[in-house]
Amino acid sequence: MKEIILQRNRLIRIIVAGEHCGFTEDMLKFESVVSLINYYRRNSLLEYNRQLSTELLYPLRKPNLEQTSWVIDGVRSVEHLLCQLRGLHAAHLRLIRHDDQITAELDSLKEELQKKRQAHAAFIASYALFLKQVELLESNKQLLFDESEIAQSNKNKEAQQRRLKSIRYQQQQMIAQIEATERKIRENEALHCSLTPKLSKLHKELGTCQFRLSQLNVSQAAMDKVLQEVSFLADLEQEPLSKILVQLTLRWQPDRYLSLDCTKDSAFKVIRSLMDCNPDNSNGIFLIRPSQSQVGHYALTISNENHIFNCLIEYRDLKHPESSGYAFLNTKLFFSSLVDFVRYYSHCSMKEHNAHLDTKLKIPAFKGTL
Q: What is the pLDDT of residues 208-256, one digit of tens each?
A: 999 999 999 999 999 999 999 999 999 999 899 999 999 999 989 999 9
In terms of domains, do 140 and 191 share one? yes
Whether 81 maps to a domain, the answer reads no
Q: Which long-range contacts (CB under 8 A, 24 or more apart) does 351-358 make?
A: 353/311, 353/328, 354/309, 354/311, 356/304, 356/305, 356/307, 356/309, 357/302, 357/304, 357/309, 357/311, 358/304
CA dist 189 and 181 (Å) reads 12
pLDDT band of 1, cuts 50, 70, 90: low
Whether 253 maps to a domain, the answer reads yes
Taking each helix axis as running N to C, give the angle between helix 220-236 and helix 147-215, from 0 to 180 degrees, rounded to the nearest 10: 150
In terms of domains, do 179 and 256 share one? no
Q: What is the pLDDT of residues 322-345, one digit of tens each?
A: 889 999 988 889 999 999 999 999
Whether 274 maps to a domain, the answer reads yes
| CB-neighbour burial class of residue 59 (10 A; exposed 0-12, middle 13-18, buried 19+) | exposed
In terms of domains, do 15 and 128 share one? no
Residue that is last in its domain, among 166, 190, 215: 215
Q: Which long-range contacts (CB under 8 A, 24 or more apart) does 6-12 make?
A: 10/52, 12/45, 12/48
Taking each helix axis as running N to C, give the angle between helix 74-141 and helix 147-215, from 0 to 180 degrees, rounded to the nearest 10: 170
CA dist 63 and 85 (Å) reads 31
pLDDT (average), residues 268-297: 92
- CATH code, domain with 195: 1.10.287.1490
CA dist 198 and 162 (Å) reads 54
**Which range marks the domain in which residue 277 is found?**
249-370
Q: What is the pLDDT of residues 134-152, one digit of tens each?
A: 677 666 666 666 676 667 6
CA dist 162 and 165 (Å) reads 5
pLDDT (average), residues 73-96: 87
Total structural domains within the chain: 3
In terms of domains, do 98 and 62 share one? no
Question: What pLDDT does 6 receive?
Answer: 47
Question: What pLDDT does 74 receive?
Answer: 46
Question: What pLDDT does 370 receive?
Answer: 58
Question: What pLDDT does 10 receive?
Answer: 72
pLDDT (average), residues 66-92: 73
Question: What pLDDT does 189 receive?
Answer: 94
Whether 54 maps to a domain, the answer reads yes
In terms of domains, do 59 and 137 share one? no
In terms of domains, do 258 and 357 share one? yes
> What is the helix (H) or strand (E) element at residue 134, kind and residue range?
helix 74-141
Q: Which residue has the higher pLDDT, 73 or 321?
A: 321
Question: What pLDDT does 18 receive?
Answer: 76
Q: Is the pTM of this model over 0.75?
A: no
Q: What is the pLDDT of residues 205-215, one digit of tens each?
A: 999 999 999 99
Longest distance between any two alpha carbons in the chain, whole Å: 126
112: Cβ contacts below 8 Å, ≥ 6 apart: 181
**pLDDT exceeds 50 at position 61:** no
Whether 306 maps to a domain, the answer reads yes
In terms of domains, do 208 and 297 share one? no
CB 102 within 8 A of CB 195: yes
